Structure 1
Amino acid sequence: MDIRQLRYLIALAREKHFTRAAEACFVTQPTLSGRVRQLEDELGVQIVLRGQRYHGLTPEGERVLRWARRILEDFDGMRQDLAMLSDAPEGRMTLGVIPSAMPCVPTLTQALRDRYPSVGFEILSRTSRQIAQELGEFTIDAGITYLDNEPVEAGATWPLYREQFRLFLRADHPLADRARITWAEAARHALVALTPDMQNRRIIDAAFEEAGAPPRPMIESNSVVALLAHARSGGFACVLPEYFVTLFGGAAGLRAIPLIEPSAGNVVGLVALARDPQPALLAALVEAAVDFEATLRRAHGFPSSAPPMDP
């Protein structure tokens, strides 16, 4: 058994098609099929359900796949750790991030780039449920998601900040001159919102429910950019975390009014699988997470009414 056989199996499970899996691995389809058969022979179990096309994995194959992902994660982590010992360390991290936390990611990535200038990142927008799944499948190195509301079951977590909400609307909106707005008041206006599969939407809905004013969004989207575009077009408002002010504040012709009654807020943090030894890049990311909120506020000069994080 060798590492390439495991990579081919993982690609096949991901692509669910022999030819596409072969193309993803830059080999011919007969080569990929042959190496998977070799793996079956060596392990003494049938891994793939075969016919004229791919039909899935056997129960034994599913267990082999889980082990393959873990073995490859450790193998790739070892290679990356050794690469970090060089004079000009290089590497790449893949992060799954809930959409509402996207504005905060550059603070973390810049902290790592200050330390390792040649390190690259792949930032994927994911729901909290996708982050949990992809951590288990070893397809992301870490996630940024909610820690205290439908928390992801991961080996280790590090809090980043407590999320606070604002109502984003155009500068000529009837509510634009308000210093604060209650959730009940906001519910009476035309709203756009994230789709219900997003945990951020479920948290916002719960705040409206607590205020006795269930929202009825006119438009739903899984894109924060789409929500802000509708708010900027006039007539609509959307509820988003306050950190979006750093990206879409006055320069975009928008106001961001703090929401009160109730004072909703949940902890967003870094999640990763517990590993020993901890990969060097993940260890550096954790160090950046420890001083995250202070670093973010220094970088943007952005005050917040959010309560201090619990230790």
Structure 2
Amino acid sequence: MDIKALRYFVELIQQQSFTRASESLFVTQPTISKMIKNLEQSVSQPLIHREGRRFWLTEAGEIVYARALQILESMEQMQSELDDLNQLQRGHLRLGIPPMVGHLYASLIRSFKQRYPNIELTIVEYGGKRIEQALLHGELDVAMTMLEEQARPEFTQLPLDSYPVHAIVPNSQHWQKQTQVKWKDLEHEPFYIYTKEFTLSEYIHQRCLQVGFNPQVSARSSQWDFLVALVKSGNGVTFLPEPLCHRVKDDGVLVKPMVHSMDWSLGLIWHAERYVPKAAEAWIELCRHKKLGRA
């Protein structure tokens, strides 16, 4: 059975069009038809029903298509592993980083690029929840994110840093008098918090429930500076990890420590059972050195 024929067959089924498949594969439609015919002869059964321009899989076609996906994935995996043997002179690292986290590890990214200039680095900015889904679906190799208190068994994690989360409140007499903010003090305040794909958003909600109230969420955003601007309007509250608080330079808001604050614990996560590319291994090792103060 020809691997190329399987690839043409899979592309045809996925595109659902001989024209689109030929354009995607950069071959003629007769070439695809010939490949499908050879594949049908090799299994001694028709793989697709045809009716004019329409076609659909036979029972044999469904079996071949499902197995072909596995075979092609295995071939790609093998090629990926072989490429990695080239001492990181080529490769691709797909790194997920939430928007709030990126600036903290900019120097680490620079160090990586200096050490491995030929590795293509793709950085994807997602919230923590979406990052986890991307890792599960194989869209990312590794990710920097806020670590959950209960680590998911699907992931291996490497803790790196931990910071307290502070409240950002309006610069008013009411808040000026307080050196710290209790969660219960915020019960009747509008909450400006992150979208639900952010792990921090879920933690804030849980902390409010623990002290006996459901937060009044007035607005959500993935942009922390926009949330701070909403607080500047004169009421409400948002929350920032300590490193971001240093970037708040505005007379209209105050940064207040929280009583019984939560920790913004950052670390690296990757799929526990999937093959880790050499480029991702190099990134993980660099992060380990960073944790030990040697990066």
TM-score after normalising by structure 1? 0.67
Q: Note if contact 2:194-2:201 (Cα within 8 Å) is conserved in structure 1.
A: yes
Does 1:257 find its partner at 2:256?
A: yes
Q: State how far apart, in whole Å, the 1-side matches of 2:42 and 2:177 are.
A: 69
Shift in alpha-carbon separation, 1:211–1:80, aligned structure 2, 3 A? same
Q: State how far apart, in whole Å, the 1-side matches of 2:187 and 2:12 are.
A: 46
Q: State how far apart, in whole Å, the 2-side matches of 1:32 and 1:239 are.
A: 60
Q: State how far apart, in whole Å, the 1-side matches of 2:34 and 2:183 are.
A: 59
Match of 1:75 in 2: 79
Q: Note if contact 1:46-1:61 (Cα within 8 Å) is conserved in structure 2.
A: no
Match of 2:181 in 1: 181
Specify the SS of the correspondent of 1:181: coil
Q: State how far apart, in whole Å, the 2-side matches of 1:54 and 1:7 are.
A: 15
Q: State how far apart, in whole Å, the 2-side matches of 1:266 and 1:62 are.
A: 43
Q: State how far apart, in whole Å, the 1-side matches of 2:111 and 2:105 are.
A: 10
**1:280 to partner: Cα distance:** 3.3
TM-score after normalising by structure 2? 0.70
Match of 2:235 in 1: 235
Residue 271 of structure 2 is aligned with which of 273, 287, 291?
273
Shift in alpha-carbon separation, 1:259–1:125, aligned structure 2, 3 A? same
Specify the SS of the correspondent of 1:123: strand
* Bigger-Rg structure (1/2): 2
Shift in alpha-carbon separation, 1:30–1:7, aligned structure 2, 3 A? closer
Shift in alpha-carbon separation, 1:210–1:233, aligned structure 2, 3 A? same
Does 1:140 find its partner at 2:140?
A: yes
Shift in alpha-carbon separation, 1:133–1:294, aligned structure 2, 3 A? same
Q: State how far apart, in whole Å, the 1-side matches of 2:4 and 2:40 are.
A: 16
Give the number of equivalent residue pairs: 288
Shift in alpha-carbon separation, 1:82–1:259, aligned structure 2, 3 A? same
Q: State how far apart, in whole Å, the 2-side matches of 1:17 and 1:176 are.
A: 67
Paired amino acid for 2:256 = I
Q: Note if contact 1:129-1:152 (Cα within 8 Å) is conserved in structure 2.
A: no
Identity %: 16
Q: Note if contact 1:3-1:72 (Cα within 8 Å) is conserved in structure 2.
A: no
Paired amino acid for 2:257 = P
Q: State how far apart, in whole Å, the 1-side matches of 2:8 and 2:163 are.
A: 39
Residue 282 of structure 2 is aligned with which of 258, 265, 284?
284
Specify the SS of the correspondent of 2:263: coil
Does 1:218 find its partner at 2:200?
A: no
Q: Note if contact 1:166-1:242 (Cα within 8 Å) is conserved in structure 2.
A: yes
Shift in alpha-carbon separation, 1:277–1:28, aligned structure 2, 3 A? closer
Match of 2:122 in 1: 122
**CA displacement 1:25-54 (0-9 Å, x = unmatched):** 574694996699589759959999998499
Q: Note if contact 1:191-1:219 (Cα within 8 Å) is conserved in structure 2.
A: yes
Paired amino acid for 2:161 = Y
Paired amino acid for 1:193 = I
Q: State how far apart, in whole Å, the 1-side matches of 2:31 and 2:145 are.
A: 36
**1:181 to partner: Cα distance:** 1.6
Query: Which ranges of structure 2 fall in alignment gaps of 5 or more residues?
Result: none
Paired amino acid for 1:284 = A
Paired amino acid for 1:212 = G
